[in-house]
Structure 1
C-alpha cells in the first residue's frame, strides 16, 4: 500500500519536513541576541547620556548648596564723619575670607537708596554716641543672604565691643516664605518652556523640516509663553498672595522667560536632534537652577555657580522677578536684556538650522521631521 508524505496510504516516502531547523535561542548566545534586539546601540548611548546627566545634576546641586559661605556681599557704610566711615570700611574690608564688599555712603538716606536700587544688599549705619549701630538689610533679596550679612556684621561689631540693631528695610511678603516664591515661579516657567519645545519635537521630529515649520514652532511657543506667563503671575500674585509687584511686569517677564527657555531648547534640538532636549536640561536645570540665587543668593554660592548664575535664564529670571516684586523694577533691566539675548539667539539658531537642512526625500518615514 502506498503512503502519502503525510503518512496517509498512497505516499511514496516518509521523512523530516523541508527547511532548516528552528534556531536554538537558548543559552548565552540566545540571551545576547535578545538583548541586542531589545536595546539598540542608539538607545544604549542615550541611556549612558541620561546617567551622565543624572550624575551632573547631583554634583551641581550638592556642589552649590552643601557649604554656603558669604563672599564679598556688597554693603554700604555711613557714619557722621568721613574719617569714621573710611575706618569702618577698611575694617570690614579686612575681615578674613572677604565676606563683605564695603562701600562708603554719605549718609543713611543714601545707603538706604542703594539698597532699594539693588546696588548693595545691606548698609551699616555707625553711631559713635554709644548707642547700637544699625544694620539695614533686605530680606526680599533672599532671607539666607540677610541672615548671613547679619551674622558677619554682628561678629565684626562684637570684636569692637559694639552691638548692632537689625532693621529690615525691604521685607518679603508674608506669603513669600524666605523670599523663595520668585525662584519657584521662575523654575516653573523654565520647566514649561523646555517641555513645550520638547513636545513640539516629539510630535513631529526633533529638527523642523524647513524654515516654515521652524517659524510655526516658534509661533506656537510664543503663544504658549504668553499664556504661561499670565497664569503663573496670577497664581503667584492675586491667587496665592505670594508675590507683590506689578502684574503686567511679572507677566512680561514670565512670557519672555518661557519663550527664552523654549527657544534655547528648539535651537539645541535643531543642532543635536533629540539629544538637544538633554542639553537644554543640562543648561537650564543642572547648571541654571542651583546657580540662580534662589535658595542661596550669589554672594553665598561657590565661585563657579556664582559666576555663571547671572548669565543663565533661571538666574536672570529670579533676579528680575525679585526686582519687580519688591524693588519697583530697579535692577531688572540687565537680567531682562540677558533673557532677550538668549531668546533672539535661540530663535535665530532654530531658523538657520531648519533652512540649512536638506529637503526630506518622499521615502522618509513619518515623524522624521516636521
Structure 2
C-alpha cells in the first residue's frame, strides 16, 4: 500500500453537487434572498401603485365671489364627480392669498363680477402637479359658465429649484444616509448591540453623524447649489432631526429583529415612505393608501417641513415636526429597552 510522499498534499475528496449546494445556500441565506425579492416586488408595487394614475381628491380651494354666485360656484365645485376639490368661501382676494400662503388651501378662484375672466391663484412651490391639476379643473368648470380663467402663481419655486423637487430630494438623501449609517454600524458591530451601554454609544455616534449630515445637506442646497436659499440654520436642524429619527428607528428595529430589521426599515422609509412623501405628486393626488400613510412617515414629514419652511414661512409644519421628534424619541427608547431586555435574557440563560 503506497503512502503519499513527504511534502505532497493529500488529495481533497470530491464532494457531490448537493453537498456544495447546501454549503453555498444556507437556509438563512435563502430566507434573506426571499426577503430581498419581496422588498423588490414591494418597491415596484408601491411606486407604480402611487404614481401610475394621479387623481385629485378633495384639493382645498377657496372661492372669492359676490353672493349668490359664491355659493353656486362652491356647490358646483363640491359636486364634481370623484370629489376632486373641497371648496370654501373667502371674503376677498387678500384672504384667499393668505389662505394659500399659510397652506390652508392650495388654490383660490377669484371671480370678477365686472367681466368674463376670473383669476385662479395657485402656489406651485407647494407642488406644481397640484397647481396644474387645479387649473385644468377650473378651466373645465369655467367653460360651463361661459367664462375664462387666468392662472396667477403667487409663490412659484425658485428658478434654481426646478419644479420644486429639491425639498424632496434633499429629504431623500438625508433619509438614505440615516438608515444606511445605522445598518453599517450594525453589520460592523452586530445588528443587536451586546448591552445598553453599547446601544447608547451607537446612538450617540449616530447623533453626531446626524448633525454632520444635516449640516452637509444644508451646505449643498444653499451656498453650493443655491436650490433652497435663505434658510440655512432651519434646514440644518431639520436634517439633523430627520437623519437621527431614521437612524434611531433603524437601530431599534435591528435590536428587535436582527438583520431583518434593516429590511423593515427599508420597507418603511423607502418602499412605503418615498412614494407617499408628496415629492413628485403631492398628497391630494395620491391614491387613498399612500395618501393616508404619507404624513406619518419621516420622508413625508421631512418634505413638508423643508418645503413649507423654505416657501411658506414654516406654516403647517407643527404636526410634521412632532412626527420626526416622535420617531427619534421612540426609536431611542425602544432600542435601549430592547437591548436591556435581550441582555437580561442572555444573562439568565448563561446562569
Instruction: Name the TM-score class by shorter chain.
Output: over 0.9
Q: Residue 45 of structure 2 is aligned with which of 59, 64, 67?
A: 59
For residues 96 and 224 of structure 2, the distance between their equivalents in structure 1, rounded to whole angstroms, comes to 35
Where 1:283 maps in the other structure, the secondary structure is: helix
Evaluate the alpha carbon distance shift between residue 6 and residue 221 of structure 1 in structure 2; reply closer, same or farther with a 3 A threshold.
closer
- 2:24 aligned with 1:38, yes or no? yes
What do residues 60-105 of structure 1 show as CA deviations (whole Å, max 9, x unaligned)?
Answer: 00000000111111011111x2322111111111111111111111
Establish whether residue 203 from structure 1 lines up as the match of residue 201 from structure 2: no
* Residues in 2 aligned to 1:334 and 1:106: alpha-carbon distance in whole angstroms: 28
Aligned to 2:93: 108
> How many residue pairs are counted as aligned between the two chains?
340
For residue 180 of structure 2, give the secondary structure of its aligned residue in structure 1.
helix
2: CA distance, partners of 1:246 / 1:98? 36
Matched, 1:266 2:262: no
Return the offset for 1:24: 5.4
| Equivalent residue in structure 1 for 2:54, among 59, 68, 85 | 68
Which moves more between the two structures, 233-242 or 188-197?
233-242
Structure 1 unaligned blocks of 5 or more: 8-20, 365-370
- 2-side partners of 1:245 and 1:324: how far apart? 10
- Mapped pair 1:246 → 2:231: yes
The secondary structure found in structure 2 opposite 1:331 is: coil
For 2:286 and 2:12, the matched residues in 1 are separated by: 64
Deviation at 1:358, TM superposition (A): 2.7
Which of 111, 116, 139 does residue 126 from structure 1 map onto? Answer: 111
Distance in 2, matches of 1:24 and 1:246, equals 67
Q: CA deviation at 1:234?
A: 1.2
Match of 1:178, SS?
coil
SS of structure 1 residue aligned to 2:246: helix
Shift of 1:22: 7.8
Distance 1:108 1:6 in 2: 104
Is the partner of 1:179 in helix, strand or coil? coil
Looking at structure 1, the residues matched to 14 and 178 of structure 2 have their Cα atoms a distance apart, in angstroms, of 50
Matches of 1:311 and 1:200, distance apart in 2: 26
CA 1:129–1:349 in 2, change beyond 3 Å: closer, same or farther? same
Q: CA deviation at 1:23?
A: 5.5
What whole-Å deviation, never above 9, does each CA across 1:317-361 have from its counterpart, x for those lacking one?
A: 111111011001111111011111111111111000111113668
Q: Could you tell me how far apart the structure 2 residues matched to 1:60 and 1:358 are?
A: 37
Partners in 1 of 2:343 and 2:212 — Cα distance? 34
Partner of 1:217: 202
Flag the structure with larger Rg: 1
Q: What residue number does 2:36 align with?
A: 50
Deviations 1:180-233 (Å, cap 9, x if unpaired)?
Answer: 000000000000000110011011100111111111111111111011111101
1:163 aligns with 148
SS at match of 2:150: strand
CA distance in 2, matches of 1:322, 1:275: 33
Offset of residue 283 of structure 1: 0.2
Secondary structure of the equivalent of 1:358? helix
Partner of 1:179: 164
Q: Is the 8 A contact 1:245 1:326 kept in 2?
A: no
Unaligned 5+ runs, structure 2: 4-10
- Give me the whole-angstrom Cα distance separating, in 2, the residues matched to 1:284 and 1:319: 15
- Provide the C-alpha distance between the structure 2 equivalents of 1:273 and 1:117, rounded to a whole number of angstroms: 43
2:8 alignment partner in structure 1: none
CA displacement at 1:238 relative to structure 2? 1.5
Alignment partners' CA distance in 2, 1:55 and 1:315: 22
Cα-to-partner distance string for 1:45-73 (whole Å, 9 max, x where unaligned): 00000000000000000000000111111
Determine helix, strand or coil for the equivalent of 1:175.
helix
Give 1:1-370 correspondences, 5 Å limit.
25=15, 30-79=16-65, 81-358=66-343
What secondary structure sits across from 1:200 in the alignment?
helix
- Cα distance in structure 2, aligned partners of 1:31 and 1:232: 51
**TM-score normalised over the length of structure 1:** 0.89
Decide which structure has greater helix share.
2
Give, in whole Å, the separation in 1 of the partners of 2:149 and 2:2: 106
On the 8 A contact 1:123/1:135 being kept in 2, the answer is: yes
Secondary structure at 2:320 match in 1? helix
